[in-house]
Amino acid sequence: MARFVGNFEHTIDDKGRLILPSSFRPKLADGAFITPLDHCLAILPTEEFDRMAERLEAQVAAGGVDVNALRHFASQADEVTPDAQGRVRLLPHLRELGGLDRSVIVTGALRRIEIWDAERWNDLGTDGAEQLATAIEKGHGFGP
């Protein structure tokens, strides 16, 4: 399973392409999916996208999730493979859904990559650090 870590400032070019950090590129050589997620865009390796799709399909089959959620998940996704320069296209509707303009933050989120509008990312501030500290204090999978 691919793991993505780190935080990088990047720019979306005039053609709507984003150059991925060099450490992320080999992990996406077999392709990936870009989809809106939690006020940003997520780039999911194929195996992670498939895992999420299977979980969603199972929840729909069990009646816990409406089929329209599955339709939305599938219809908003775009299948991509980084080109020789490590670029992926960000379709206009995805850039709009993610609130992305030109300046973005590309960050590893372990099983996925997230692309955030730089201003929105900065507005998140220290909330993530505070949440991590709370998780560590409560012993949620951290520590010896």
Q: What does the pLDDT look like over 29-78, one tens digit per residue? A: 999 999 999 899 999 999 999 999 999 999 999 999 999 999 999 999 99
pLDDT at 84 over 60: yes
> Tokens in use for 143?
């520590």
Per-residue confidence (pLDDT) for residue 10, from 0 to 100: 96
The whole-model pTM stands at 0.86
pLDDT at 142 over 80: no
Q: Comparing 6 with 2, which gets the higher pLDDT?
A: 6
Structural domains present in the chain: 7-118 (3.40.1550.20)
Place 126 in a pLDDT band, splitting at 50, 70 and 90: low
Per-residue confidence (pLDDT) for residue 133, from 0 to 100: 74
pLDDT at 127 over 80: no
Within the chain, where are the H helices? 46-61, 67-76, 92-97, 118-124, 127-138
Mean pLDDT, residues 92-105: 96
Asked if 79 contacts 33 with a C-beta cutoff of 8 angstroms, the reply is yes
Asked if 19 contacts 77 with a C-beta cutoff of 8 angstroms, the reply is no
Place 143 in a pLDDT band, splitting at 50, 70 and 90: low
Amino acid symbol at 73: F
pLDDT at 134 over 80: no
Find the helix or strand (DSSP H, E) in which 6 lies: none
Alpha-carbon span 144 to 141, nearest angstrom:
9
